[in-house]
Structure 1
Amino acid sequence: MASKNKDRLAFLTMPAPASYVAGLGRGASGFTTRSDIGPARDGPSAEAIAEAQARRGEEAEYDPDAFQDPESETGLFAGTIYEADDEEADQIFARVDGAMESRRKARREAREAKERQKARVDRPKIQEQFSDLKRGLSAVTDEEWGNLPEVGNLTKRRKVRETRSYVVPDSILVGDRNKLGHESSLSAQQQIVDKAGDITDFVELGNARDKVLSLRLDQASGAASGLSTSINPKDYLTDLNSVSVKSEAEIGDIKKARMLFDSMVKSNPKYAQGWIAAACVEEHAGRMVAARKLINAGCQQCPKSEEIWLEAARLHKNDDAKVILANAVNSLQQSVKIWLRAADLEADPNVKKRVLRKALDSIPHSVRLWKEAINLETSASDARLLLARAVEIIPQSVELWLALAKLGSSEHAKGVLNKARKAVPTSHEIWIAAAHLIEHEAQQNASHGSPGETIDRTILAAVRELRKHGVSFSRDQWITEAENSDDLSMPLTCEAIVKSTISMDVEPEDRIPTWLGDLESLQLKKRLTAARAVAAFMLKVFPNRVDVWEKAIELEGASSSSEALFEKAVGYCPQAEVFWLRWAKKKWLDGNVPGARQILEQAFLANPESENIWLAAVKLEAENGEQDVARALLIRAREVANTSRIWMKAAVFERQQGRPQEALAILQTALAKFPTFSKLYMIQGQIHENLGDHVASRASFTAGLKSCPKDPRLWILASRLEEKDGKSIKARSLLEKARLMIPGDETLWAEAVLVEERSNTFVSAKSVLARALQACPSSCHLWAISVWRESRPTRKSRAADAMSKSGKHPLVLCTVARLFWAERKIEKARDWFHRAVQAALEDSLDLGDIWAWWLRFEREYGTETRQQEVVSACIAAAPRHGEVWQPIAKALGNEAKSTADILNLVVDALDDR
């Protein structure tokens, strides 16, 4: 039995198979130890592990290296050579991958941007919802901020009410009663008897108190002189105002500062700033005697400090300060400030002169002392003698040389400036002063001739000499000197400086932008002479530049010299139509019609196919009553230039002359030549409408909409025709179709609102207006309409929203002015009308309706002078557009009327609105 058990357990002593893993059958395939495999024994192979896993029904583990990318140069292609075609293939694949990635990125970014935009519209941030109100806070003034009430505790706290009551003891009640009582007699203890047996007389005590008080008041009133026995109420109140009452904290700070500075002056008595600070502390505390003692001690300890002597003189009275400064002069004879302070203390001019002359004996090289001494002289000869002596002692002072040159005659000034140039060859002021002297002589003596060449040579010599002596005087500094000469009304010197120095340190390729920048900067600074000099120099260098000629003509304005500029401009730039037209217009406005014709004839020779010149000639003849000549010119222009605008003007001319059939014939030919020119269809439809032929007018507008579907004016005219014919539904339909064809056009939305209002459907008008503001959130026209469609209490808030949304457009500003006008706030309304026209001029918007509203306002509340000012400003602005202005200006019979006449007609039309 024992042998049987022994045989059964014999496997425990047997060696394990080669592929045996302890616990492999139970799933512990990876659990092996060094004792299991032995010191030189490998673990199970991959095949053995796979076989064991297969017996258990497990799937084989994924080997990441089984399908490794061959680009890693391992595995199958590990031993191959990376050749040029491999590199080319890699580059091609990389480009394809990059292109695909960029395309996916663009699509992804577009999709994300669209999602963000949609989310921002659907769920705007609270910050965006209140952005208008936040921007409005910038207009709140400091006074309005200060008037805001303090925010208290608005939380609804539960108030705890005391319900318990206590009985007050009788002792408290009796004590309070005694506090409120008054006694009119003295007790026995209070009646103190003196040695003589008399009772104390309180009346005498009161009189003594009054006497002491009066003595103190006398001392206060006579503090300055010590002799006054009466009180000056004004001075006394002034003294009381000068008394500063110190708080406990301030007194404590003064005590700390006094201790610190006392320690400083004791530890370092030679430090002058410590004595000055200590004296200032006492002065702030109101202890002038202590301050003077401290500063006097500081003067003894620091006799070589200039600041401490000046501070001592400030703290003392006038007489004492003179003594202190006399002692200071003994210690510091070379201090200019002390000598000047001593001279300031003297009231007599002669004494001041003596002090300054003593100072000059001690400090002869001080320019400031010489200037102060010269300023005290009342005689020009004495001042000249002092200046002559000053320039001998200080030959490097440019100020003294220039002052000496101003005091003499012209010949004397020339001699002085020549000596100054030799003494100070590095000074540009002396050269410029010489140029000013030459120009001044020419201005005083008209027969002297033109000094321009002499001044040019003087400035050129100045530039040359400064370079010779190594003076780095930059180009910008020379331009600044030219501006100074312009301010001094020395135009020749200004031009000479510009001509001689404007090319300094400028590269050839940078000349045009640099010089144009200088010209615009000078123009903004109102230095017109310097700007003209820059323009003249540029025209010499670049005579064929049209933009430079335009700047030069703009600078000349309406002066007589502009004629010569126009003549030179058309000579150098004959193809520039703008110069011919502006020159002819100037001649016409001056009343010289033959001269204007002659200029236009020359323009025809230089620009035979220019439609602007042809139309200008037609306008000149038509407005001067030469209708046949104008018609002949238009016929010739259609043959030579043959442009759509000339054909349109020809039809308009015949229409204005009362010949509609001829105008229709011209339009028929023009439409065959230019079928996509929308204005031809408009004019044709309007002529048929005026003739009462609505069918032909509708056909013209329909043809125009087919050829020019993107022109909103055609849609509006077609809609108004239908509305005039009593077909409001058709008008609405046309405008709906137009908005689909031209989305986001504010004029179409505004017309739709007006159509609803003219049809008396105000609810629909309000709905259309709301949709319009959503489609065009920044439309000034729509916002101006929406303000007046609000109820009276909400118009101001609506106007504020309109200004924030439209960027303070002139139309919105005009609407705000009309709001103030309706509230009878006259000055505010006038101010806002002025803002509106200024904004229109700055933005180059020639809106005539704003001027008409302003004139209507002035007719109601202004004077004739104000009305004339508005009319004059409107004529100068020459507006041509506007919702009411343009139809009236283009109406039949108004083509020859002036701006003032059109303005009056528009004002009358506004009265009916």
Structure 2
Amino acid sequence: MQAPVASKHHRLDSITEIGDYYSRNKKKRFESVGGSETPDLTTSDGGEKSEEAEKARLLLLSVIETDTEVSPACLKLRSALINHVLEKDPKRLLQEAVDHCPLHVELWLGLARLEKLYDTAKEVLKKAREKLPRERALWIEEAKLEEAAANKGGNNNTKHMVGKVIKMGIMALFEQHVEFDRLGWIKDAEGAEQSGCVETCKAIIENTVGIGVKKEDRKVTWFGDAEECKNRGSIETARAIYMYALGSFGSSKKSIWLKAIQFEKAHGTRETVDELLCVAVRIPKGEVFWLMLANEKMIAGDVSEAREILKVAYSKCPDFEEIWNAAFKLEYENKELERARACLAKARNENEGGGRPERMWMKSAVVERELKNVAGERRLLDEGLGLFPWFFKLWLMLGQLEERLDRLHEARDAYKSGVKHCPNSIPIWLSLAKVEERISSSILVVTDVLKMGRKRNPKDPQLWLAGIRAEKSELVAVRLMEKALKECRGSKNSGILLAYSIEMSSTSEEWKTLVSKMKCEEEDEDPHVIAAIGNKLFSDDGNTQVDEARIWLNRAVSVAPDIGDFWAFLYKFELKHGSENNQKEVLRKCIAAQPKHGDRWQPISKAVENSHQPVEVILNKLVVALEKEEEKAAATRHNWL
């Protein structure tokens, strides 16, 4: 085998370490085989020997210790150690050791690593394989040697040279009838990575990880291998396994591409993620990868590049709805409303019934609303409702448009039409009840609307809660709550009723009794209940339990970080009782969570005047709204009393 670019006299400074096998024993003192104490690893005058000499002697001591049968060779080795205790040349020490004990692979590896010249190190490994033809560690060591030599000499063919050595090693071991140990090779790849020999690590994986794996088990097996390597901190080994899996399956397994990309996002660089995505977009049905690539550019702040990527994606996948949706989002979030308008117009004109076209009309109306084009907004809503009368959001937007124009009766008509076409849309029923409250001073009209809504949707907690809040009589509200809890038990989102029952409690004893009952029935795990308990501890008749309240409110945002109401509760609490650092930390976490939901959060975040407002602005506006809500609730309780 020819040497790489490095010359015959080239010094391989990067492979001088003896290895971990003996360095982990660096500070031990061993008892000799014969019972007397092994000589100390210092000179007679107390001075330290060179590090390499010390490592070499420690290696010899390790071999002596592991030779449990006290072979003649081991006794000779001990004699060599004693004879050379003052010897400063570790190579001479190890050379004599391999002469006495040629079947100890650790000694050969140590000697090869001490050689500074490429050719000499190769010769040592060749002699070692003659004595130990079944040892794969010797082939791996030669691969590392090739990698070090190629890197030192600037050889661009490192991968080929290293891979060639590993392939030769596997063939030689098969000829020696050595049982193939796939997991052992993976561990060797991890060892190569940890020693800095990444190309050796990759070559081992590429040539061994697929051997002995059944075709139907490949995906599960390789995913498991990569996950275990990642958990052990062997990132390059895990990456090599994913790359091998991608090469084996090609474009047939989109899930492997997704897994590999997720891995790179977590452990790679922006460049490695982009590089992988640029290949992934070429596979059949790879539309999602176009979106991911554009999103990476948006995250990096490169709007122009993201725009170009989506343009190419649209030309290749014109029927994939999420591409035009991403293009719209890109322009809308960057306040390029004219571009957003053009993007949606093209999507509406070219759509042939695939995906969810009703969303195109909805988003188009949103853009016109942003541009304050009332006529355009109304036209698009009318067109959309003519095509998709079952899409409740279009009815909601029409009603909201009329309310913004202070045309309350027209808004009521829009909502009434909405509940006729979409009787199971809770937001339309709630909007109809609110507009009736604005039109009429009679609570009976509002409660009648909510009763009709509950008749259509008997187990919906939101309609029951709205009815309870609308009641002017505490007695009626309490009875309605009892009925609501019974009717909605087990329903999705029923926690909002339990939470409000805590809010309604007038004394500490009353709400604490309720909470105890909820714990018994395992109902206290709902995030709304958790937040309600935190709020009660925060504002319990002036007896605020600060530490307990903070624990419960933090727990609420941990369980449901997407609900903005809970962040506002916690932030309001910290503004009153917390330090400036606590307030900043809550704000930071809220911004990171990017909440989108919440009965109180959404009306503020979706208001026209708050379009494009950052999370911190919405949060502060909601805190102000909560203060006003508390004042109103206090007035209601006063009326009940």
2:598 to 872, 882, 900: 882
The change in CA–CA distance for 1:350 and 1:381 in structure 2 (over 3 A counts) is closer
- 2:461 paired with 1:746: yes
The residue correspondences of 1:79-94 to structure 2 (distance < 5 A) are: none
Q: SS in structure 2 opposite 1:572?
A: coil
- 2:401 paired with 1:687: yes
1:654 to 368, 371, 387: 368
| Equivalent residue, structure 2, for 1:733 | 448
The change in CA–CA distance for 1:765 and 1:381 in structure 2 (over 3 A counts) is farther
- 2:456 paired with 1:762: no
| Equivalent residue, structure 1, for 2:428 | 714
Contact between 1:817 and 1:832, CA under 8 Å: does it hold in 2? yes
1:771 to 461, 483, 486: 483
Contact between 1:623 and 1:896, CA under 8 Å: does it hold in 2? yes
2:167 to 442, 460, 481: 460
- 2:130 paired with 1:422: yes
- Cα distance, 1:704 vs. partner? 1.5
Q: Give aligned pairs, total.
A: 566
Contact between 1:611 and 1:646, CA under 8 Å: does it hold in 2? no
The change in CA–CA distance for 1:651 and 1:404 in structure 2 (over 3 A counts) is same
Aligned equivalents of 1:605, 1:430: Cα separation in 2: 54
- Cα distance, 1:463 vs. partner? 2.7
Aligned equivalents of 1:818, 1:731: Cα separation in 2: 28
Contact between 2:524 and 2:530, CA under 8 Å: does it hold in 1? no
- Cα distance, 1:525 vs. partner? 4.9
The change in CA–CA distance for 1:628 and 1:339 in structure 2 (over 3 A counts) is closer
Aligned equivalents of 2:533, 2:163: Cα separation in 1: 56
| Equivalent residue, structure 2, for 1:603 | 313
Aligned equivalents of 1:650, 1:372: Cα separation in 2: 89
| Equivalent residue, structure 1, for 2:236 | 529
The residue correspondences of 1:49-64 to structure 2 (distance < 5 A) are: none
Aligned equivalents of 2:233, 2:221: Cα separation in 1: 19
Aligned equivalents of 2:206, 2:316: Cα separation in 1: 33
Stretches of structure 2 that go unaligned for 5 or more consecutive residues are 1-29, 47-56, 630-641
Paired AA for residue 678 in structure 1:
F
Q: SS in structure 2 opposite 1:709?
A: coil
1:689-709, Cα deviation, whole Å (9 max, x unpaired): 222222222221122212112
Aligned equivalents of 1:707, 1:721: Cα separation in 2: 18
Paired AA for residue 471 in structure 1:
V
TM-score w.r.t. length of structure 2: 0.77
Stretches of structure 1 that go unaligned for 5 or more consecutive residues are 1-335
Contact between 2:385 and 2:394, CA under 8 Å: does it hold in 1? yes
Q: SS in structure 1 opposite 2:309?
A: helix
Aligned equivalents of 1:343, 1:899: Cα separation in 2: 71
Aligned equivalents of 1:435, 1:858: Cα separation in 2: 60
The change in CA–CA distance for 1:409 and 1:346 in structure 2 (over 3 A counts) is closer
The change in CA–CA distance for 1:502 and 1:614 in structure 2 (over 3 A counts) is same
The change in CA–CA distance for 1:485 and 1:885 in structure 2 (over 3 A counts) is farther
1:783 to 476, 494, 498: 498
- Cα distance, 1:685 vs. partner? 1.2
The change in CA–CA distance for 1:672 and 1:863 in structure 2 (over 3 A counts) is same
- Cα distance, 1:518 vs. partner? 3.5
| Equivalent residue, structure 2, for 1:560 | 271
Paired AA for residue 546 in structure 1:
K
The residue correspondences of 1:469-488 to structure 2 (distance < 5 A) are: 469-488=176-195
Structure with more contact order per residue of length (Cα contacts < 8 Å, sep ≥ 6):
2
Contact between 1:698 and 1:721, CA under 8 Å: does it hold in 2? yes
1:584 to 269, 294, 300: 294
- Cα distance, 1:594 vs. partner? 2.0
The change in CA–CA distance for 1:901 and 1:440 in structure 2 (over 3 A counts) is farther
Q: SS in structure 2 opposite 1:470?
A: coil
- Cα distance, 1:658 vs. partner? 1.8
Q: SS in structure 1 opposite 2:282?
A: helix
2:255 to 524, 543, 547: 547
Contact between 2:73 and 2:100, CA under 8 Å: does it hold in 1? no
Q: Once structures 1 and 2 are overlaid, which stretch shifts more, 639-648 or 575-584?
A: 575-584
Q: Once structures 1 and 2 are overlaid, which stretch shifts more, 360-369 or 625-634?
A: 360-369
Contact between 2:33 and 2:70, CA under 8 Å: does it hold in 1? no
- Cα distance, 1:653 vs. partner? 1.5
The residue correspondences of 1:183-202 to structure 2 (distance < 5 A) are: none
Aligned equivalents of 1:367, 1:399: Cα separation in 2: 14
The change in CA–CA distance for 1:527 and 1:348 in structure 2 (over 3 A counts) is closer
Aligned equivalents of 1:487, 1:834: Cα separation in 2: 40
- Cα distance, 1:580 vs. partner? 1.9
- 2:303 paired with 1:593: yes
Aligned equivalents of 1:608, 1:474: Cα separation in 2: 49
- Cα distance, 1:631 vs. partner? 2.1
Paired AA for residue 367 in structure 2:
F
Q: SS in structure 2 opposite 1:718?
A: helix
The change in CA–CA distance for 1:428 and 1:733 in structure 2 (over 3 A counts) is farther
- Cα distance, 1:846 vs. partner? 2.4
Paired AA for residue 248 in structure 2:
V
| Equivalent residue, structure 2, for 1:846 | 562
Aligned equivalents of 2:33, 2:293: Cα separation in 1: 67
1:4-24, Cα deviation, whole Å (9 max, x unpaired): xxxxxxxxxxxxxxxxxxxxx
- 2:385 paired with 1:675: no
The change in CA–CA distance for 1:520 and 1:745 in structure 2 (over 3 A counts) is farther
The change in CA–CA distance for 1:908 and 1:489 in structure 2 (over 3 A counts) is farther
| Equivalent residue, structure 1, for 2:202 | 495
Contact between 1:364 and 1:393, CA under 8 Å: does it hold in 2? no
Aligned equivalents of 2:138, 2:301: Cα separation in 1: 49
Paired AA for residue 673 in structure 1:
L
- Cα distance, 1:890 vs. partner? 0.9
Aligned equivalents of 1:799, 1:887: Cα separation in 2: 29
Q: SS in structure 2 opposite 1:561?
A: helix
- Cα distance, 1:605 vs. partner? 0.6
Aligned equivalents of 1:649, 1:714: Cα separation in 2: 19
- Cα distance, 1:773 vs. partner? 3.0
Aligned equivalents of 2:84, 2:551: Cα separation in 1: 53
How much identity, in percent, do the aligned residues show?
A: 32
The change in CA–CA distance for 1:776 and 1:534 in structure 2 (over 3 A counts) is farther
TM-score w.r.t. length of structure 1: 0.55
Q: SS in structure 2 opposite 1:560?
A: helix
- Cα distance, 1:675 vs. partner? 1.2
Paired AA for residue 883 in structure 1:
D
| Equivalent residue, structure 2, for 1:697 | 411
| Equivalent residue, structure 1, for 2:10 | none
| Equivalent residue, structure 1, for 2:4 | none
The change in CA–CA distance for 1:767 and 1:376 in structure 2 (over 3 A counts) is farther
| Equivalent residue, structure 2, for 1:641 | 351
Q: SS in structure 2 opposite 1:893?
A: helix
Aligned equivalents of 1:742, 1:367: Cα separation in 2: 86
- Cα distance, 1:764 vs. partner? 3.0
Paired AA for residue 317 in structure 2:
N
- 2:625 paired with 1:909: yes
The change in CA–CA distance for 1:738 and 1:374 in structure 2 (over 3 A counts) is farther
- 2:119 paired with 1:403: no
- 2:610 paired with 1:894: yes
The residue correspondences of 1:61-140 to structure 2 (distance < 5 A) are: none
The change in CA–CA distance for 1:348 and 1:675 in structure 2 (over 3 A counts) is closer
- Cα distance, 1:795 vs. partner? 4.5
1:138-177, Cα deviation, whole Å (9 max, x unpaired): xxxxxxxxxxxxxxxxxxxxxxxxxxxxxxxxxxxxxxxx
1:828-884, Cα deviation, whole Å (9 max, x unpaired): 6555555444444xxxx6223333334334444555444444434333333222222
Paired AA for residue 768 in structure 1:
L
Q: Once structures 1 and 2 are overlaid, which stretch shifts more, 427-436 or 641-650?
A: 427-436
1:390 to 94, 97, 105: 97
The change in CA–CA distance for 1:771 and 1:572 in structure 2 (over 3 A counts) is same
| Equivalent residue, structure 2, for 1:343 | 37
| Equivalent residue, structure 2, for 1:620 | 330
Contact between 1:566 and 1:579, CA under 8 Å: does it hold in 2? yes
Larger radius of gyration: 1
- Cα distance, 1:741 vs. partner? 2.4
The change in CA–CA distance for 1:580 and 1:385 in structure 2 (over 3 A counts) is same
